[in-house]
Amino acid sequence: MARIIVVTSGKGGVGKTTTSAAIAMGLAKKGHKTAVIDFDVGLRNLDLILGCERRVVYDFVNVINGEATLNQALIKDKRCNQLFILPASQTRDKDALTVEGVGRVLEELSKDFKYIVCDSPAGIEKGAHLAMYFADDAFVVTNPEVSSVRDSDRMLGIMASKSKRAENNEEPIKEYLLLTRYSPERVKLGEMLSVEDVQEILSLHLLGVIPESKSVLNASNSGIPVILDDKSDAGQAYEDIVARYLGEDRPHRFIDEEKKGIFGKLFRSK
Amino acid sequence: MSLLDYFRTTKRGTASLAKERLQILVAHERSSRTQPSYLPQLQKELLEVVRKYINVEQDAISINFEQDEDQEVLELNIVLPDEHNKSSK
Ligand SMILES: Nc1ncnc2c1ncn2[C@@H]1O[C@H](COP(=O)(O)OP(=O)(O)OP(=O)(O)O)[C@@H](O)[C@H]1O
Ligand SMILES: [Mg+2]
């Protein structure tokens, strides 16, 4: 049986696709057979972030409609043979995804995969609903910013009442906080909500903090999930997150400002 | 909080304001999520009944639903018009 992870946020543009690509690659690199599904029907971006956009033949909706088999549609990653991508359809038909259809595909994938990562679209409409509906775990991607925190909380409410687990009175979805685009410098200046602030408001278990990083754009420019850039802060942050998710106990990093020479140190060590 | 801390936080940026606003908003939205869905309709109908007898304003009635581990409390508050209004009727 696979574990189904939804990467969700409510608010758009906070880093769901970046995160989905990174953690799917991270899990696969640890030897777990992982599928990552793009639920953003109509837009399709995950393939681009993973660098397999030119290999897309069939998509998620084709599989649901029986126009292709799962094996035909899944794209095997060239860097890691444990990672498979199921791209989103570019159809404009909003009803292309159905509960039964998505359920069937997830069930079939569950037989063969260890982890299934669902990259949710923004919003709280159908696509976002279906992405979280079957989930066992939720990675709630949040930026340290008021609207993102509020939307994350709304998403938590939806998962607590509208997911399959909620409807069947099963154990609730396990929710984890991933605080992304974090700037310790700005937090220090009191300009940005701190990780403690966000945790206090959402009362969620913190899986990790991903700093605001130039490496993310570099990675997406080249179609390489940022976790493969092991020199970068964001890449290492995602590495930590995958390890923690798998049960390793790693201290949190990227929460405090980097040391900036002796003067910085003198001032900080009050 | 020491005086020094006080000046430090007030002089600092807007993050503390963001936190304060979020805490209030999130608490409010959470409580309205756990409210029974009949609550707005109940409030409307209660208001109609009360208004048959007493001339109260639209916002003179407030309804509050609270839930803890072992009980649910429905609290209804109606602010009656003051003595002056009553006697002048
Ligand atoms: N840690 C980070 N540092 C810097 N930029 C980031 C970081 N994480 C994400 N970004 C940038 O933010 C933008 C949005 O990221 P992404 O596409 O992953 O968000 P999303 O939540 O999937 O968006 P959508 O809601 O549209 O699906 C991208 O340009 C990405 O490069
Ligand atoms: Mg996305």
Contacts A–B by Cβ distance under 8 A: 48
Over its length of 270 residues, how does chain A's per-residue pLDDT go in tens digits?
899 999 999 999 999 999 999 999 999 999 999 999 999 998 899 999 999 999 999 999 999 999 999 999 999 999 999 999 999 988 878 788 999 999 999 999 999 999 999 999 999 999 999 999 999 999 999 999 999 999 999 999 999 999 999 999 999 999 999 999 999 999 999 999 999 999 999 999 999 999 999 999 999 999 999 999 999 999 999 999 999 999 999 999 999 887 555 554 455 444
A chain contacts of residue B30, beta-carbon cutoff 8 Å: 153, 157
Confidence (pLDDT) at A189 = 93
Mean pLDDT of chain B, nearest integer:
78
Cα A76 to chain centroid, rounded:
19
Query: Contact B21/A146, CB-based, under 8 Å?
Result: yes
- What's the pLDDT band for B35 if we cut at 50, 70, 90? confident
Count Cβ atoms below 10 Å from residue A269 Cβ, excluding itself. Answer: 6
Q: Is A72 helix (H, G, I), strand (E, B) or coil?
A: helix
Size of chain A in residues: 270
Q: Which mutation among A6, A17, A226 tests ligand 1's pocket best, with the greatest number of atoms within 8 A of CB?
A: A17
CB distance A18 to ligand 1 below 6 Å: yes
A119 Cα nearest atom in ligand 1: 22
Q: Ligand 1 pocket, A16 CB below 6 A?
A: yes
| Greatest extent of chain B over all pairs of C-alpha atoms, in Å | 58
Judged by a CB distance cut-off of 8 A, whether residue A194 touches chain B is yes
Q: What share of chain A is helix, strand, coil (3-state, %, to 5)?
A: 45, 15, 40
Which pLDDT score, from 0 to 100, does residue B73 have? Answer: 85
Residue listed under structure tokens 């005086």: B3
Q: Which two tokens stand for residue A85?
A: 């991508």
Partner residue opposite A150 with nearest CB, options B15, B19, B26: B26
Within 8 A by CB and 6+ apart from B2, the residues are none
Q: Residue whose CA is closest, atom 14 of ligand 1?
A: A13
What confidence tier does B11 reach under pLDDT thresholds 50, 70, 90? Answer: low
- Chain B contact for A33 (CB, 8 A cutoff): no
**B51 Cα to the center of ligand 2, angstroms:** 52
Residue whose CA is at the smallest distance from ligand 1 atom 31: A217
Quick one: tokens of A7? 């990467």
| DSSP structural state of residue A67 | S
CA triplet A141, A167, B65: central angle to 5 degrees?
85
pTM of the model: 0.85
Q: How far is B58 from chain A (nearest CA, A)?
A: 29
What's the pLDDT at B5? 57
pLDDT at A260: 54
**Nearest in space to B59 (alpha carbons), one of B50, B70, B67, B68:** B50
Are the beta carbons of A150 and B33 separated by less than 8 Å? no
pLDDT value at position A171? 97
The pLDDT value recorded for residue B34 is: 76
Q: Which of A150, A157, A190 sits opposite B16 (nearest CB)?
A: A190
User: Are B14 and A197 inside 8 Å of each other by CB?
Assistant: no
Pick B13's closest partner by Cβ from A149, A150, A191: A191
A200 CB neighbours in chain B (<8 A) are 19, 23
> Beta-carbon neighbour count of residue A263 at 10 Å?
8
Q: What is the DSSP letter of A189?
A: T
Q: Which ligand is nearest to the CA of A211?
A: 1
Higher-confidence residue: B1 or A122? Answer: A122
Burial of residue A50 (CB within 10 Å: 0-12, 13-18, 19+) is buried
Using pLDDT thresholds of 50, 70 and 90, give the confidence band for residue B84: very low
Distance CA(A61)–CA(A83), nearest Å, equals: 20
Query: Does ligand 1 lie within 6 Å of residue A217's CB atom?
Result: yes
Residue B81 has pLDDT above 90, yes or no: no
Q: Give the pair of three-digit tokens for residue A259.
A: 């040391």
Half-sphere exposure of A58 (CA within 13 A, CB side): 16
Q: Are B33 and A197 an interchain contact pair (Cβ–Cβ within 8 Å)?
A: no
**Contact between A191 and B16 using a beta-carbon 8 Å cutoff:** no
User: Region B51-80: what's the mean pLDDT?
Assistant: 82
